[in-house]
A and B are shown apart, each in its own frame.
Chain A
């Protein structure tokens, strides 16, 4: 990539974000601190509500994990994401107006605030605060890592960036505080990402988050639409793409070790995405397939490897063998000799392990049908039960995210909600279905990336902007996932901070706290959250996408049903809402832990093929209703305040 254009893109973007934070801070100084800092004085208009909702909902996963899945499993992802057809309707229509009204009645500015006043009890608020801090922290760390990874792709080979990396590398070697085995490139990007997010979120508060969300939302949709046009133009149309996908058979995946005949004098790096075949000295793992004996098999290296100084072998690296004849012929056609460029002098490759997909191996048509090819699951990628679960998952999970609920508390009128629903429908329609089309095209344009599919977004951005002879465009296209990560992170940081400052400090510890002390604590809290998450992301957990899905689902099962009961059901009481929150989360966690015990760490137990989220919702609803009914009803004046006069008394359900 043209690193200069990347730097310019990033700098322009960063300056834009900081300018918006500065303007937000100016507004902040003229209004009441708490309400403005954490809720923007409940003043979101149509444009801001639409784009802040859209940008917050579209996390980095939408531009990293989702494209990777489309690339690996094909058209079935249209079914996987299908419930986004009703996400705007559910997200805004199910809860928006009523939650906003209830929050206004009580003057609430956070989710725990709403529950505290609705039930006139601190217990639901404290439980909510604890769950929020716990689950949001899980959610933040992978987002920071994804932001840093995207930034790393963006900065590429820029010399200034490499100088900074070299300086930090030396510092790490000399320092005993920072871990020496952390990749300095990653650490520099993480530091940059953290610095920008913490500064603008801390300085500008909710309004800065919303305004930057607007900018990020625009960057995202422009990026997607430009990619769509270029991808279709590059492939010759969707019809052609689908026909080529129909002929595809899933690849084989495995690992490869590179050998040098002599110990090397200086480290030799073999870049990711190079191709090799048996004609260039590859010693291929015997797959036992007689039909393939004697045929040159084509492999794509899916991660870079190094043969260290004084060594003869590299570590094992991921490799993909493409198996579709048409694809092999097309890749070979790109080389003058019909064979891939040779490996460095004296280097040979040994494919030491190779396996077929558990579902779809050798079969045509699997990329255009359900359940889609799968490397490990024998039932395929998306069995019908799981597809049903995802129809629940996206619509209800998006509605139940605390960050979405806070936005529902922040708009200024019913009219704003109505028009935002209209525009959000258009916005999501122009992002999610086109993403399926774009990355189906990517499967045809860039074969052999199945084991490194998380980087398909930047890879296709480079490829298409290079094909269009507009290298500067890559900067804009890669800014889209970066913006997605940023817009999610800022909202979550603000929520954690507001939970601590408003719901713990002001409500429980210091009800008479002055605005000045609250302001100082809010800033300190934001900085602390940023620093703690940065430290957590220096060594992030594995299975990032899994952690994101786990934490996102956990928040939904903890809050969606309780909040629905709280705002719509007059009979709901404190024990009921607490049981609903804890019961939903307990059922959800139990299925994850059981899955952890009997499968791999990144796979939950799916009772009747249903995602744990469905069982979490069921437990939350049943417990919320039953516990409310068997315990004392809420005080009549409390019911009257939020629901009006409901007579006769027994008819409150």
Chain B
């Protein structure tokens, strides 16, 4: 829902407070997110976790992914007609994540290159 002018104002404000007023947070205090992409049989599912800092987000990742999949699968199973491909995709993601098959993505930074992604296989 952003507009260009709003973002420009925001970036100016951020630059003012962070740069000119010395508002830098220590690295371990900065609100952070972890974003991963888990392969499925017909594509991939992306999960994001927001934390009070990087360690918090990283530590919560396994339980947050499990809760998300529980919610989504519970909803899908209650719906009629059953979306069998959707359910299979969720189950594929659960299996792949449990096996440690996922890519780490940093999609929140304006990074040029391969679709703006910073992918590192774990």
A-B interaction = no
